[in-house]
Amino acid sequence: MSIVVTAATGQLGTLVIDELLQRVPADQVVAVARDAAKAAPIADRGVEVRIADYNDADALAEAFGTGDTVLLISGLEPNRRDQHRAVIAAAGEAGVARIAYTSVLGGPEADYDLAADHIATEQAVLDSGLPYTFLRNGWYNEVYTDQIAGQLANGVVGSAGDGRIASASRRDFAAAAAVVLTGEGHEKKAYELNGDADWTHAEYAAELARQSGKDVAYHNLPSADYLQVLVGSGMPEPMAQMFVGVAQATERGRLAGRGGDLSALIGRPTTSIADSIAAALVH
């Protein structure tokens, strides 16, 4: 019986593995990855690596074992709804003890396009009859701080108005996943995971300006104009439309806080956007 992390070489998966290894021995952890070479640093830490792709049903059939606890990290590809169903089916056939899924803040109440696949996946997990935990992750600080170079040059661009975002660091969400995977009492629970404090894009721009010493402003655009900015930057239009939908959802308050589940799980305050800005500016 192992703790199995899918998409283990991704940005979140790598951090989950790291957090798990701070809590349990390496021989209790299994990493599922598509690329053995990319997973080599994980294997070097004593973690078993199983090679499987969300699109490969045969490989998925070998990825899980009876009694395993599985973390299904949501995919990024357009067909991820089908991919998630394939993982859930393989986990069910293997007789895993529990499946945890990285869903979206608000779950079924999340009323924007990007959330639809998460809602469908939650339902697929429920339909499977497997014991489950839903980790309804809010937005990562890094979604914004990874763009600092461009923000310093061009300002912060969006169409979220004064909508508030209760984000936290990716490490915070990874720590919560590790707690749920290694602990007891998490079955049939859905955790709404968000940062302790929320902020607007204008406040984010002001904090970035303060820390960088540069003139950074927030440019709030109509949705149609924001879509054109994203497409003009090289983003495929379907993805750009989803980002516009997220901005509209932000303005409606869908990414604001829903309580203190995240800090309660990890046993400490969540990482503030100011701290993540500071870390990004150092690097």
Which domains occur in the chain, in start order? 3-137+169-193 (3.40.50.720)
Q: Among 216, 213, 215, 195, which residue's Cα sits nearest to residue 204?
A: 216
For the record, the structure tokens of 131 come out as 């014991």
Distance of CA 95 to the CA centre of its chain: 26
- The predicted pLDDT at position 1 comes to 83
Per DSSP, what are the bridge partners of residue 3? 29, 69
Q: How many residues make up the chain in this entry?
A: 283
- The predicted pLDDT at position 78 comes to 80
- The predicted pLDDT at position 224 comes to 96
Contacts with 181 (C-beta within 8 Å, 6 or more apart), sequence order: 3, 5, 16, 20, 69, 71, 100
Q: Give this prediction's pTM.
A: 0.96
**Rounded mean pLDDT for each run of 10 residues along the chain, 283 residues in total:** 96 98 98 96 98 93 96 90 96 98 96 93 98 98 96 96 98 98 97 98 98 97 95 91 94 94 98 98 90
- The predicted pLDDT at position 164 comes to 97
- The predicted pLDDT at position 283 comes to 81
